[in-house]
Amino acid sequence: MSARERAEALDAADPLGRWRDRFVVADPELVYFDGNSLGRLPIATRDRLSRVIDQEWGADLIRSWEHWIDLPTTVGDRIAASVLGARPGEVLVTDSTTVNFYRLASAALDARPGRPVIVTDVDNFPTDRYVVEGLAASRGLDVRWIRADPVEGPQPEDVAAVLGPDVALVTLSHVAYRSGAIADLAGITALAHDAGALALWDLSHSAGAVPVELEAGGADLAVGCTYKYLNGGPGAPAYLYVRTEHQAGLRPPIWGWWSQREMFEMGERYEPETGIRAFLVGTPGVLALNAVDEGVALVAEAGLDAIRAKSVALTAYAVELHDELLAPPGFSLVTPRDPRRRGSHVAIGHPRAAELCRALVGRGVVPDYRRPNVIRFGLSPLTTSFHDVWRGLTVLAELAGA
Amino acid sequence: MSARERAEALDAADPLGRWRDRFVVADPELVYFDGNSLGRLPIATRDRLSRVIDQEWGADLIRSWEHWIDLPTTVGDRIAASVLGARPGEVLVTDSTTVNFYRLASAALDARPGRPVIVTDVDNFPTDRYVVEGLAASRGLDVRWIRADPVEGPQPEDVAAVLGPDVALVTLSHVAYRSGAIADLAGITALAHDAGALALWDLSHSAGAVPVELEAGGADLAVGCTYKYLNGGPGAPAYLYVRTEHQAGLRPPIWGWWSQREMFEMGERYEPETGIRAFLVGTPGVLALNAVDEGVALVAEAGLDAIRAKSVALTAYAVELHDELLAPPGFSLVTPRDPRRRGSHVAIGHPRAAELCRALVGRGVVPDYRRPNVIRFGLSPLTTSFHDVWRGLTVLAELAGA
């Protein structure tokens, strides 16, 4: 069976094959591999935004705040239950990933006074690294950088090697933004706990595509964005997770009015809410919160087991095609070969990656480029077909002169 | 001439009388006095959001980031020029007012080491007070509270009385959220500078209704929201202002990737941008940024001189009606009588304010209530008519049994 025939057979047998119909697809010929950067627009989201804009804002005006005010927690609970393996009252949707990461990291450091070290890895997403660097600079702490294998990502043994009684916080991405490697969330969290440290996870590249088990994995804190596999739209607010048992003991650094008990009393002094609302700050983006709700509802309806199965099949097929079509002319796989260790994107290295990326876009195939030499193919399980993978990688092989 | 006839004459002569047609008005009978809390939906915004959602997100997908990436600065420049009296490259639209306030206050405190006092007033907006309290707690500083006249707000002499060489930062609202009193931005900033302190202004209740002259007034730093008189929609991102001369010397505490020089190089260490982009954090809310752009464009087109003239006329007429209809049955004016000292809302006190507010809503008049005894009438110059004011205050008088 040819590579194309295999794609057709896989599409025919795909239980999620019709899910693309739930999304706006303006150009059916476009091969879109950036659902891991900006997920497609769900049709239900377009319709809901239209209602929110025309009716809730345009007609109902200020009175809509009666229900808008609960969106950060209700949408958070939905993400908790259907995406993050977390309990009700543990997740909020608000602010950006960076702001949430800063707030939780800062609260975690306050909770571990006298421990002067933050552990993270050099291949972690830039904003996480920069925030850590800034916190370390302002508090006179050190960052202990893990330099793990760039394809396989940080392993428990890499973390164990740098842990000690001086470590306050370990922070890593669950799925690496570049290689797509999955880190062992439960194993690394347990190691952090053994050393007396807290663990803060960035779930941006896993949530909605890879099962996340925050409660079962013993996670302390997590953040992530909603505009990738959760299809919340450009710049939609991010989420944050604080394990129930930590909520009373942690206090984030920005004492905003949305975390004030009886906020409309507008009391003279700050008296924070209990529970997850203590982690709110200011007025959240209402339009985008509604979009996140719809995006998450779609993921919940499809179910993460089915999504994960499709994701593994898509990336496995992409790895096969890489080996068949791309390895011979000099490409290399920058993503783990073991599907249990792989998220939902596949990174392929080539010295002329930048130029090839531009040429792909010219041929109607949209991946993204990560300097200096990586082409990243995001395979969003609800909207990517095996035929897309076949077409994208075949075009790439042609462009490379194979 | 009766009160109603005066309203009709004022509406007939109002050069902004037709501007309400530029907004969605679902119920022409509704008297909406909450444009200072959630501004109405401009028709141009509804249309633009529809294009942004369907075309830019739905069809163009990730490719739209080529122009979305500049929205925080281009919309910022528009606000700077048409609303804030600031120069290009001094204003960003991003995050919430609270997050921006925290970041600028924190940077200002870092720039004044060894000065252990922050000055603000007890009637300042809650989130500003709580953030100040949090910063003081985490840094071991003191808050020196101004207790000014609750109607007239903090005067330069109130500020002068608490200033000294120990003060790092003075922060006040330009227009008080409760009384509507305008503070002397230039005079108070000059006093702060004489004492060696920086001044940080919250413009949420003035921008778009009251002229703001940040450059001419010598302002250092400012923040404000866009969902009131700028009609940016519920939870739309806020703006921040950093005077050009301060941009190189101040470093905000959250080192996010959006402030990294050549952010897509994703360099190993944080190297901030120069200029106002050094004050970005994470991915901004794209849908709402587009809405802010349209809202600000309307204000720019109408012109702040015309808007201010209408605002003064509206509040003056409301004060007249208060004296005529509401003072006799026991209401009191909680807003300055001098129009030069008054923003665009009028606050009226009554012991049964909460109950009367609910009754007003039942009669199709929507003000808002501020505990314990204030009814606040936001008179948004582009969408409020003199007839609205007449009707709202007449209904209130009836409800009070006048």
pLDDT digits (tens, 9 = 90+) for A358-386: 999 999 999 999 988 999 999 999 999 99
pLDDT at position A402: 56
pLDDT at position B401: 85
pLDDT at position A208: 98
Res B155 pLDDT > 70: yes
Whole-angstrom CA distances from A181 to A33, A374, A377, B374, B390 are 18, 14, 14, 57, 66
From A201, A204, A200, A207, select the one nearest A224 (Cα to Cα).
A204
Q: Is A4 designated active site?
A: no
Interface with B, mutate which of A98, A202, A273 (most B CBs under 10 A): A98
How many percent of chain B have pLDDT more than 90? 97
User: E strands of B147-210, at which residues?
Assistant: 167-173, 198-202
Q: Which two tokens stand for residue A87?
A: 């309990």
Cross-chain residue pair A24–B59, CB shorter than 8 Å: yes
Of A27, A286, A368, the CB nearest to B234: A286
Chain A nearest C-alpha distance from B1 (Å): 34
CB-count burial class (<10 Å; 0-12, 13-18, 19+) for B30: middle
Give contacts of B289 with chain A, Cβ < 8 Å: 235
Whole-angstrom CA distances from B291 to A373, B40, B77 are 37, 12, 15
Query: Using CA atoms, how far apart are residues A307 and A206, in angstroms rounded to an integer?
Result: 12
Cross-chain residue pair B27–A287, CB shorter than 8 Å: no
Mean pLDDT of chain B: 97
Res A401 pLDDT > 90: no
Angle separating helix axes A304-321 and A3-12, nearest 10 degrees: 170
Cross-chain residue pair A62–B236, CB shorter than 8 Å: no
Of B26, B225, B267, the CB nearest to A58: B26
Give contacts of B62 with chain A, Cβ < 8 Å: 32, 34, 37-38, 366, 368
List pLDDT tens digits, range A84-99. Answer: 999 999 999 999 999 9
Of A38, A133, A283, the CB nearest to B96: A283
Q: Taking residues B146-155, report their average pLDDT.
A: 97
The full 3-state SS of B338-385, as one line of letters, equals CHHHECCEEEEECCCHHHHHHHHHHCCEECEEECCCEEEEECCCCCCC
User: E strands of B64-210, at which residues?
Assistant: 91-93, 117-121, 142-146, 167-173, 198-202
Query: Using CA atoms, how far apart are residues A58 and B40, in angstroms rounded to an integer?
Result: 6
> In which residue are the tokens 């110059």 written?
B381
**Alpha helices in B37-113, H assignment, sequence order:** 43-51, 65-68, 71-79, 97-110
Res B311 pLDDT > 70: yes
Decide the pairing of beta strands B368-370 and B365-366.
unpaired
pLDDT band at A346 (very low <50, low <70, confident <90, very high): very high
Res A176 pLDDT > 70: yes
Angle separating helix axes A286-302 and A304-321, nearest 10 degrees: 80
pLDDT band at B258 (very low <50, low <70, confident <90, very high): very high
Q: Which residues of A98-126 are buried (b: 16+ CB within 10 A; e: fewer)?
A: bbbbbbbbbbbbbbbeebbbbbbbebbbb
What are the two backbone dihedrals, phi and then psi, of residue A289, each rounded to the nearest 5 degrees?
-60, -40
CB-count burial class (<10 Å; 0-12, 13-18, 19+) for A385: buried
Residues of B assigned a catalytic role: 125, 202, 227-228, 376
CB count in 10 Å sphere of residue B333? 18
pLDDT band at B15 (very low <50, low <70, confident <90, very high): very high
Cross-chain residue pair B37–A62, CB shorter than 8 Å: yes
Chain B nearest C-alpha distance from A47 (Å): 10
Q: Is A369 designated active site?
A: no
List pLDDT tens digits, range A280-317. Answer: 999 999 999 999 999 999 999 999 999 999 999 999 99
Query: Using CA atoms, how far apart are residues A204 and A227, in angstroms rounded to an integer?
Result: 9
From A308, A277, A108, select the one nearest A207 (Cα to Cα).
A308
pLDDT at position B402: 56
Give contacts of B370 with chain A, Cβ < 8 Å: 266
Q: Is A228 designated active site?
A: yes
Of A40, A98, A268, the CB nearest to B254: A98
Give contacts of B263 with chain A, Cβ < 8 Å: 126
Chain A nearest C-alpha distance from B390 (Å): 21
**Global pTM value:** 0.98
From A104, A130, A108, A126, select the one nearest A117 (Cα to Cα).
A108
List pLDDT tens digits, range A183-228. Answer: 999 999 999 999 999 999 999 999 999 999 999 999 999 999 999 9
The strand order across the sheet containing B332-333 reads B332-333, B345-349, B374-378, B368-370
Res B242 pLDDT > 90: yes
List pLDDT tens digits, range B80-132. Answer: 999 999 999 999 999 999 999 999 999 999 999 999 999 999 999 999 999 99
pLDDT at position A315: 98
Of B49, B54, B130, the CB nearest to A257: B130
Give contacts of A282 with chain B, Cβ < 8 Å: 96-99, 127, 238
Give contacts of A225 with chain B, Cβ < 8 Å: 283
Chain B nearest C-alpha distance from A212 (Å): 23
Q: Which of A202, A293, A368, A388 is catalytic?
A: A202
